[in-house]
Structure 1
Amino acid sequence: MFKLIELNISEPVNQQVYRALRRAIITCQVLPGVLLSEKEISSQFNVSRQPVREAFIKLAEAGLVKILPQRGTFVTKISIKKVIDGQFIREAVECAIIKRVAQEITESDLVLLDKNLAEQIDANKRKDIRSFLEKDDEFHQIIMNVIDCPMAWETVENIKAMMDRVRYLTLEDISPPEDLVKQHKKIVMALKKHDPEMAALALHEHLSTILQTINIVSQQRNDWFVD
C-alpha cells in the first residue's frame, strides 16, 4: 500500500511514518474512506504501534484522516471548505514572507531556485507527477528558508495538506505543470529584481489558481469531495 522508507536513526520514527503516510494519501495511493490498520502499518514499516499511533494523530490534525473510537482510522474525503480556508491562510502567510524575502534574498538562494526550476521542468518532461509535486514544495520551502524561520514552513505544510490532494489530482490536465512552472518563473523574476510588491502579486496569482481548479476536479470526482 505504501512506498517503504528506510528509517533514519537521526530522526524520530513517528515523523518519518507520518511523512510516508501523508505522501501516500496525497498522491492517491490510499483512497478516501480506506481504513488504515495500525497493526498492518507497524508491521510494514517494522516499527512498534506507538509511532504509527502518533502519526495517525498528526494526520488527523492535518485533516487527512478521521479517528473514530472503537471503529478505526479512516482516510477522509477532501473538504472543499478546508481547501478554500487553507488557501486563504497560506496566501496570507506566504505573501507576507515573500515581501521580506525579496529584500533579503542572496545570489546563492537564487541559484537554488534556478536549479529547482530546472528540476521541475525535467520532472514534467518525464511525466513524473509525484516528483513534480515534491519539487513544487521544495520551491516554496527554499523561498521560506531565506528568512530562516522553520516554523513558517511547518505551519504552511500543515495547512496545505488538504490542498495538496487537490493539486495532485489536477496536475495532469486541469492545472498542467508547465503552467505552474511559468508562474514559478514569474516569482523568481520578481525576487531577482528584489521587488516585494511584484513578488507578492506573482505569488498571489500562483496560489489562487487552486480556487478555480477545485471547482473542476470536484465535479469530475464528486465522490472524493464533501461540502
Structure 2
Amino acid sequence: MRPEPLRDPASSHPPTTRAIYAALRREIVTLALLPGAKLSENELALRFGTSRGPVREALIRLGEDGLIDVLPQRGSFVGRLSLPAIERARFVREALEIAVVRRAATEGLSDGQRRHIEAALAAQAEAGLDAEHFIDFDDAFHAGFAEAIGLGSVWGIVEREKVQFDRIRFLSLPAATPIALLLEQHRAILAAVLDRDPAAAEAAMRAHMAEVLKIVSDLPARHPALF
C-alpha cells in the first residue's frame, strides 16, 4: 500500500526535513520499506509535496543513522540489516537500561510514575499482535524508568543507538519472540523496581535483553535477502 503524503490538507506548508526524516525512518524500521529498496529523491519529493532539498537532507540524516546506503552513480538504497550494528545496539541498550533500572529501584517510583509505566504495560498487552503499536508501548515502558529518575535524555541516546535493533524486533514479532514472554519479563522488571531491589531489577533486565540473542542467530538464514 502506498504511504500517505505528510502534507496536512488544511495546511499550505510542505513537511519539514524533520517530518520527512521521521516518516522514512519509521517506514525503514518497521520494514514497510525493505532493505535494498531504492529511494528516489524525485519520487519522494512528489510524495511529500515538497522540493528535493528537504528530501535530500532527510536522506543524509538516514545515512548517518546507518539506515540507507548511498552508492555513487546508482542512488540511495535502504540499508541491509547488519549483525555487528545490531550487537552494538544491544550492548549500548543493555548497559544503559541496567543502570537506569538499578537507580529506579534504589530511588523508588512516585505513584504517578508507577501509574504511567503500568499504563504503558497495559496498553502493550492490549496491542497484542499489532507489532507497531506493541513496540511503541514497549518503548514507552522502558522510557518511563529513565524519565522517572530524571534521566529522560538517556533514553534519547538509547533511541539513537537502537534503530538496527528495532528492525530485528519487527522482523521477529510475533513468531520468534512470544509476546506473552515479553510481557512477563516487563512485569518482572517493574516488580523488582517497586520492591526496591536493584539486583533483581538488573537480573530481570538482563534476561529481557538476552531475548535478542536467541532470535538473531537464525534470522540471516531465514531472511538472507535482508542481511
Q: TM-score, normalised by structure 2?
A: 0.89
Could you tell me which residue of structure 2 aligns to residue 91 of structure 1?
94
Could you tell me which residue of structure 2 aligns to residue 211 of structure 1?
213
State the aligned residue count.
Answer: 221
Residues in 2 aligned to 1:5 and 1:221: alpha-carbon distance in whole angstroms: 31
Could you tell me which residue of structure 2 aligns to residue 52 of structure 1?
55
The residue matched to 2:217 in structure 1 has which SS? Answer: helix
The residue matched to 2:149 in structure 1 has which SS? Answer: coil
By how many angstroms is 1:131 displaced?
1.0
Query: Does residue 45 of structure 2 align to residue 39 of structure 1?
Result: no
1:144 maps to a residue whose letter is A
Identity %: 35
Residues in 1 aligned to 2:27 and 2:222: alpha-carbon distance in whole angstroms: 21
Could you tell me which residue of structure 1 aligns to residue 180 of structure 2?
178
**Over the residues paired in the alignment, what is the CA RMSD in angstroms?**
2.0
Matches within 5 A, 1:45-194: 45-102=48-105, 103-124=107-128, 127-194=129-196
1:118 maps to a residue whose letter is A
Q: Deviations over 1:30-62 (max 9, x none)?
A: 111111112222221223333322221222222
Moved more, 87-96 or 49-58: 49-58
Change (3 A) 1:6 1:113: farther
> Where has structure 1 moved over 6 Å in runs of 4 or more?
none
Q: Deviations over 1:109-142 (max 9, x none)?
A: 1101111111111110xx2111111111111122
1:86 maps to a residue whose letter is A
Q: Deviations over 1:87-122 (max 9, x none)?
A: 111111111122112224211111011111111111
The residue matched to 1:78 in structure 2 has which SS? Answer: coil
1:196 maps to a residue whose letter is P
Residues in 1 aligned to 2:60 and 2:149: alpha-carbon distance in whole angstroms: 30
Q: Which of 1 and 2 has greater Rg?
A: 2
Q: TM-score, normalised by structure 1?
A: 0.89
Change (3 A) 1:178 1:197: same
Change (3 A) 1:3 1:64: farther
Could you tell me which runs of 5 or more consecutive residues in structure 2 were left unpaired when the two chains were aligned: none
* Conserved 8 A contact 1:3-1:24: no
Residues in 2 aligned to 1:174 and 1:128: alpha-carbon distance in whole angstroms: 15
* Conserved 8 A contact 1:129-1:171: yes
By how many angstroms is 1:184 displaced?
0.7
